[in-house]
Amino acid sequence: MPLNGERAFEVMQREGVDTLIASSTENVYYVSNYWSLGKKLGCGVQAYAVLPIKGAPAVVAPIDEADLVLDSQTWIDDIRFHGSSKVDFSRPEEPFEQTELLLKLYEGAKPEADGATALIKALEEKGLTEGVIALDASGLTPSLYEQIKSKLPGAKLVDGASLLREIRLVKTESEVERIKRATAITEKSMEDALEIARSEITELDLAGMYAHSVTYDGGHVTQNLIGFRERSAFPNPVPSLFEAERRDLVRMTFGCTWDHYHSNISRTAVIGRPLQKVQRRWEAVMSAQDAALDAVEPGAKIGDVCGAALKALEDADVKGFSGGVGHGLGVECNERPWIEKDAEGELLEGMVVNIDIPVLELGWGGTQLEDTILVTSDGFELLTRTDRTLYLL
Amino acid sequence: MPLNGERAFEVMQREGVDTLIASSTENVYYVSNYWSLGKKLGCGVQAYAVLPIKGAPAVVAPIDEADLVLDSQTWIDDIRFHGSSKVDFSRPEEPFEQTELLLKLYEGAKPEADGATALIKALEEKGLTEGVIALDASGLTPSLYEQIKSKLPGAKLVDGASLLREIRLVKTESEVERIKRATAITEKSMEDALEIARSEITELDLAGMYAHSVTYDGGHVTQNLIGFRERSAFPNPVPSLFEAERRDLVRMTFGCTWDHYHSNISRTAVIGRPLQKVQRRWEAVMSAQDAALDAVEPGAKIGDVCGAALKALEDADVKGFSGGVGHGLGVECNERPWIEKDAEGELLEGMVVNIDIPVLELGWGGTQLEDTILVTSDGFELLTRTDRTLYLL
């Protein structure tokens, strides 16, 4: 399961939080293993996971996602349902095992009218309506947030979304495994796309090959940005029918999910031999990423990791670069820690972080190198395995 | 462009709304044509579209999505930026046309610190901080909503998300074209998947072929649910390694997007010859969908359309079915009108609606037929083109 339980309780205790309530698809999944499809598709579905510091946790799901709760093999026993069912569950004669389990869920369910009601009832029955409740609002509309708040007059509500981001900072082994798998799919698919790169091909051709290869491996495409020549300097080059010529720069940012965990990688290629300026730019990008990586170890100040990269870019006379050089990666593609100059806090063993150096010069071109690392006890492990090189096609 | 401008102004006028503010990725896209990638990826990005009943509209975007605003060919001239840039836009000697336009955006931008500040400033400069403001909260966190609200003490805030759903009820020609294209991709890809269906194949094999085919055609997979045998009765059969045998039911729900517009279709198949009970169930499903379709015409009461289907199911002695028989389809996969028994309101020419009849009997199996129609002046046009039949494989 994704949840880092030990860390969750440590953080809750430190912050004086009695009960944590997850509400976004990602956070409910993180806490409980259950992924709400209806919520992700934006059908107005409500789903929650309740994690108290004392007592048993609970999951709240729409009754017609009972099969998804079952499939999730959630570690949480107390499952509360809401909404009405479209299923006939009059007992058949010899159901097979999975159906038997699902029938039990349906037969035992006393669904509440809606998710918020089911959530409040769970809190009431567990004696969790008072004390400090960290409510994750990232999966709530403002009106739903107000509705829940008004039903908890005895509680002190604090920000559950940031608490979950804090907990999620340090990954479990099973999270790292998923990120590794997503990364492997992304890298293989990028190399499949590069196989077909040559003059006269379009950005869309490459993007199609990437998506094709990810899909073939069972991943889900999340990012597929490809820019040729001057378009390589665009921050978000959505693939177009623009055709490559010899000597063009090709800047690529790719991502996918595997089992709801993200990968994210950027590479730069040249069709043919690189111009001298391209070579110089690439050396600047490499040196900046190397400088950041050299600074990575448990206890390193995050601001220093960013600072090392920025200094290398400055030394190489790169202009226009501001902001951070990376971000955490997990059940969300962009999550803490943000690798920024002014960031507080330190790197911790078990963090998964992208070190991302985009150098974009409008009217000339863009080069970018983005890799994923796991912070280990004595430094880091590179989770991306493809060459950190300027690809010559 | 997606926006139904005439209808937007009609609805705003009728509801006494002076200014409409869109905040979700989908609603900003609907109003302005600009799709915020960062917002969709959940990176904490803010994007807005402001549509006043008098005066010029505006778009608010992060400066490093200036290229996406440009690509969108938005009809809105007043573009406001926020955030800091990672781009070097010192003017090159001979930029090509697209870069030239992007340079102008960067050079003219005076980005505000954040999205909410840029939004409020736009409202202030346009004299739109008072009167009735319909604020779409569907793209806002509760704290962002509070922040914006506190900056507009002279305004009466009403629910912009429902107003936009009301406006979006009637589709423009360009919206219908996109839905048609998404539907064509989904149907072709479903047929590709059915080509390989036979005994001993797994649900994942079929799902992979569907995703493969959608991706090949440039669509983005949204729904890919496939259940064999008893799993066909599960409400959300996430494809597994479960293998098909002769006579198994295969229930499928597929969807994809094209240019951010959705398709959604469900079909049922049998491997080999159907059992008598399957045949009877299918006839019930067909008759219910036919009954609903017979009731479709502009001015038809939505509750009656649902009622007609429910009566047909009752006549066929189908148990366990409750709730609605469909939903609107557009820039969101599930949107108004909801085809429900107690629904108020009427069908209007230009609505795009799914008529969806799932009959799920746990422990036995599920059959489902879901098609997309466009309500026309004299009835409807079926946007799905594949046979509405029980597929025999």
Which pLDDT score, from 0 to 100, does residue A270 have?
A: 96
pLDDT in the model for residue B374: 98
Q: Which residues of B touch A204 (CB under 8 A)?
A: 218
- Specify whether A201 is located in the same domain as A153: no
Q: Which residues contact B348 (CB under 8 A, 6 or more apart)?
A: B169, B170, B298, B375
Report whether pLDDT(A384) > 90: yes
Same domain, residue pair A206 and A188: yes
| pLDDT tens column, A99-158 | 999 999 999 999 999 999 999 999 999 999 999 999 999 999 989 999 999 999 999 999
Domain match, B105 and B226 both: no
Same domain, B129 and B177: no
Q: Given this model, what pLDDT does residue A223 score? A: 95
Q: Domain of B82?
A: 5-167
Residue B75: phi and psi, rounded to 5, are -80, -5
Average pLDDT over residues A359-373: 95
What distances in angstroms separate CA A379 from CA A174, A260, A323, B72, one per listed residue?
A: 20, 27, 24, 44
Q: What is the pLDDT of residues B334-355, one digit of tens each?
A: 999 999 999 999 999 999 999 9
- pLDDT over 80 (residue A92): no
Q: How far is A44 from chain B (nearest CA, A)?
A: 9
CA distance A32 to B223: 22
What whole-number distance in Å separates Cα of residue B314 and Cα of residue A222?
Answer: 43
Q: Is the ipTM of this complex over 0.90?
A: yes
Which residues of A are less than 8 Å from B65 in CB distance? 235-236
Residues A192 and A59 in one domain: no
Domain end, chosen from B146, B167, B188, is at B167
**A307 and A204 housed in the same domain:** yes
DSSP at A75: S
Nearest chain B CA: its distance from A143 CA (Å): 8
Check A362 against B103: CB less than 8 A apart. Answer: yes
Chain A's closest residue to B361, CA to CA, is A88
With helix as H, strand as E and coil as C, how does B129-171 read? CCEEEEECCCCCCHHHHHHHHHCCCCEEEEEHHHHHHHHCCCC
Are the Cβ atoms of B98 and A231 closer than 8 angstroms?
yes
Determine the distance in angstroms separating the CA of B125 from the nearest CA of chain A, rounded to an integer: 27
* Facing A89 at nearest CB: one of B95, B99, B320: B320
pLDDT at A322 over 80: no
| Judgement on whether residues B239 and B286 belong to the same structural domain of the protein | yes
The answer, yes or no, to whether residue B77 has pLDDT greater than 90, is yes
pLDDT score at B125: 97
**pLDDT > 90: percent of chain B:** 91
Q: Does position B375 have pLDDT exceeding 80, yes or no?
A: yes
Q: Among residues A167, A187, A209, which one ends one of the domains?
A: A167
Residue A141 and residue A46 share a domain: yes
Residues of chain A above pLDDT 70, percent: 100
Question: CB distance from A21 to chain B under 8 Å?
Answer: no
Collect all residues of chain A within an 8 Å Cβ-Cβ radius of residue B71.
238
Residue where a domain stops, chosen among A140, A167, A194: A167
Answer whether A42 sits within 8 Å of B332, measured CB to CB: yes
- Same domain for B98 and B152: yes
What CATH number has the domain bearing residue B289? 3.90.230.10
Q: What digits encode the pLDDT tens for the residues B223-253?
A: 999 999 999 999 999 999 999 999 999 999 9
- For residues B230 and B321, state if they share a domain: yes
Q: Which of A234, A319, A367 should be substituted to probe chain B, the one whose Cβ sees the most B Cβ atoms within 10 Å?
A: A234
Q: What does the pLDDT average to over A157-186?
A: 97
Task: Tell me the count of A-B CB pairs closer than 8 A.
Answer: 191
Overall domain count for chain A? 2
Q: Give B105's contacts in chain A (Cβ within 8 Å).
A: none
Q: pLDDT tens digits, residue range B6-47?
A: 999 999 999 999 999 999 999 999 999 999 999 998 778 999
Please compute the mean of the pLDDT values over residues A58-79 and round it to a whole number: 96
Note whether B132 and B200 are same-domain residues. Answer: no
Residues B163 and B178 in one domain: no
A320–B86 C-beta distance less than 8 A: yes
